Structure 1
Amino acid sequence: MNFIKLLILTTLILSLGGCKQSRVKESLLPSSSGNPGEVVLIMEKTAWEGSAGESFRSLLQEETPGLPQREPLFNLVNIPAKAFTDLFKIHRNLIIVSIDPSIEQAGINVDYNRWSKPQLIITMKAPNRESFFELYDKNNQKILGLLLKAERDRLMNNYKAYSEQSLINRLEKRADIHLDIPKGYYYALDTNNFIWLSHETSETSQGLFIYYYDYVDAETFSLNTLINKRNEMLKKYVGGENPGSYMSTELQVLPTFRSFKLNGTYTAELRGLWKVEGDFMGGPFISISQLDESKNRVVTVEGFVYAPKYNKRNYVRQLEAILYSLKLNAKEEEKN
């Protein structure tokens, strides 16, 4: 019996020591390189120029939804295996593809922070083209989801570490919700059940709208109801520069709608375009809405971008990262 206890204790000590060594090793890693939304695909030239390469191009360079101009989901860079040097190994997003007869069994592996941090590495191995495409077909949406989540998580972790705490505290006290708001934002409007936070530069504008209203029934979370409520709130609180002008939703291209669970809570998401009635301004927006059961209210948090001279994808992803930090009943969470 004493021997068993000693064995368990020894195993525990070794396990804890291994975890500590792993954390120390990760802390010594260099920062990852590469631009936001960039993926390096390590694949031989013949595969890249053929159907294997085309499968990744069609997946990762698909049009980003909800933008006024076409922008790919990711900027894809290809290099052959012999060029995969230390310079590329520290890139933020790596997909390593090997198709070789010496490989015994097709498989996919996901790894994090191997050569740098934060880093995502997806490795795909297959003995031939047929087994590669079988592997790809089973996992392509998983690959896309991993990349999107990795990009979002990097932003969320950064915003949590460098947040505008005074704004966060005010929002929690005022609306009883939590958002990780990065530095640079300020209150543009705070009235009744509508809050507007703004981040301005000389050539771009990013804004957050937080508003809430009574929950009626399940129809409240339909596409039409969410759009109608959005237009109602924006007409009331977000005026344009010209007299009588106001922000609204562009309906010639309907916003996309999807529902999912965010932190265990049902969430309705809209992505689309905004415009200013009575003016010539516009751009993309993203919104999420959740039911706050304790207060029988719907809470909507949305972000919009105005950047006429620039691509908008990364600006929208920055806002998305803020929105995805949403937590309801922030005061209650503080007590716990």
Structure 2
Amino acid sequence: MKKIVGFFAIVLLFVSCKDDKSVKYLPESIGAINSLAVVMDNELWQGEVGDKVREHFAAPVVGLTLEEPLFTINYMPPSVFTGSVQHSRSVLYVTRDSTNKALIKTDVYAKPQKVGVISGKNIQEIKKEIDAKADEIIKAFRGLEISEAQKRFKRSLNKDSILSKNFKVSLDIPSAYRVGRQEDNFVWYDRQVPKGTMNVIMYTMPEDYFKNDSTLVKDILRMRDSIGSIYIPGEDIAGKKNHMVSEKMFAPHVYPAEIGGKKAVEVRGLWEMSDYPMGGPYLLYIINDKENNRKLIVEGFTFAPASQKRDNMFELEAIMKTIAFR
């Protein structure tokens, strides 16, 4: 109980001192992208509470070819959560307490940092708090991880002005990416990775291309397949036109989104080649650019057979979310 009280005392101390000018320094947070420090008693971790945490925070990422967790969890009991470990960028602290509570704190031990705190009077109450607050905490953690990924690759950016000239937008694209193909209405950046490539493409469609919600998924797949047939060829196959198409066996996941300050649609799915055993995941944004009477399409996709792709796709997401309109 002393450890529990001590933790909440520290949280309250930092909250109360947030505006105190005497508090001048917090160490820089640490950790690999998409890593999460989970702190709770071993009894909770090995039981139903630990299962509930894994259900939410280690859930499979949508739209990948292999099952990979949302976060790489680094579990530790409270006695180990000391020193530099407290500087972990994303922290989830779960404990028994006299009150049921779930909250998110910012920059408690380090900066930038998010600390999710969940407490309950018993196991069932803790599980209820996790169910109720998990999505909000995950959103906060993912937002912080996106910002960290962007900060890291901004250290060395591609300096060309192709996107500005062709589409009147900018993206923070790491210098490791190079332009592989450029047309009036199509630009393709790619980067070599072990066993494959990471790719970002951009093009536009007419403002009225997507007629209505009832045919949205069909229209998205038709659009992708059309672009693939024109711009994204595959290995030469005698007598066949081999090119990128959407995976036919699995429907894409489609969500409302906002990107670059504009309403958008987020699409997560799988791609393949029309006549060759090759494929991978893609993430696509359809941005409603009313000011320019168009739909702006930006997509990231990865080819890395038999390899984990979560962090590759996360980097592509971080890149695409830097989009800015002129």
Residues 93-104 of structure 1 aligned to structure 2 (within 5 Å): 93-100=90-97, 103=98
TM-score by length of 2: 0.86
Q: In the alignment, what sits opposite 2:251? A: 254
Question: What whole-Å deviation, never above 9, does each CA across 1:294-335 have from its counterpart, x for those lacking one?
Answer: 22111100001011142001100000111112223x2xxxxx
TM-score by length of 1: 0.84
* Letter matched to residue 107 of structure 1: K
1:217–1:211 CA distance, 2 compared to 1 (3 A): closer
Distance 1:63 1:161 in 2: 30
Measured after TM superposition, the shift of residue 204 of structure 1 is: 2.6
Q: Structure 1 unaligned segments of length 5 or more: list them.
A: 1-16, 331-336
Where 2:287 maps in the other structure, the secondary structure is strand
Measured after TM superposition, the shift of residue 161 of structure 1 is: 4.4
191, 202, 210: which one pairs with 1:210? 202
1:148 correspondence with 2:128: no
Identity of aligned residues (%): 23
Where 1:25 maps in the other structure, the secondary structure is coil
Residues 277-296 of structure 1 aligned to structure 2 (within 5 Å): 277-296=274-293
Q: In the alignment, what sits opposite 2:298? A: 301
Q: RMSD across aligned C-alpha pairs, in angstroms?
A: 2.1
Residues 122-271 of structure 1 aligned to structure 2 (within 5 Å): 122-164=116-158, 166-167=159-160, 169-201=161-193, 203-216=195-208, 219=211, 222-243=216-237, 244-271=241-268
* Letter matched to residue 76 of structure 1: I
1:311 correspondence with 2:308: yes
Q: In the alignment, what sits opposite 2:64? A: 67
Distance 1:79 1:175 in 2: 48
Greater percentage in helix: 1
Distance 2:270 2:73 in 1: 26
Distance 1:154 1:83 in 2: 25
Distance 1:25 1:158 in 2: 21
Distance 2:260 2:121 in 1: 40
Distance 1:175 1:19 in 2: 46
Distance 1:95 1:63 in 2: 18
Equivalent pair of 1:43/1:79 in contact (CA under 8 Å): yes
Worse overlay, 42-51 or 119-128: 119-128
Measured after TM superposition, the shift of residue 158 of structure 1 is: 2.7
User: Rg larger in 1 or in 2?
Assistant: 1
* Letter matched to residue 56 of structure 2: L
Question: What whole-Å deviation, never above 9, does each CA across 1:66-114 have from its counterpart, x for those lacking one?
Answer: 11111111122221111222142122221111203xx3x3323322333
Q: Structure 2 unaligned segments of length 5 or more: list them.
A: 1-17
1:305–1:43 CA distance, 2 compared to 1 (3 A): same
Number of equivalences: 304
Equivalent pair of 1:220/1:226 in contact (CA under 8 Å): no
1:239–1:110 CA distance, 2 compared to 1 (3 A): same
Distance 2:296 2:196 in 1: 27
Equivalent pair of 1:210/1:301 in contact (CA under 8 Å): yes
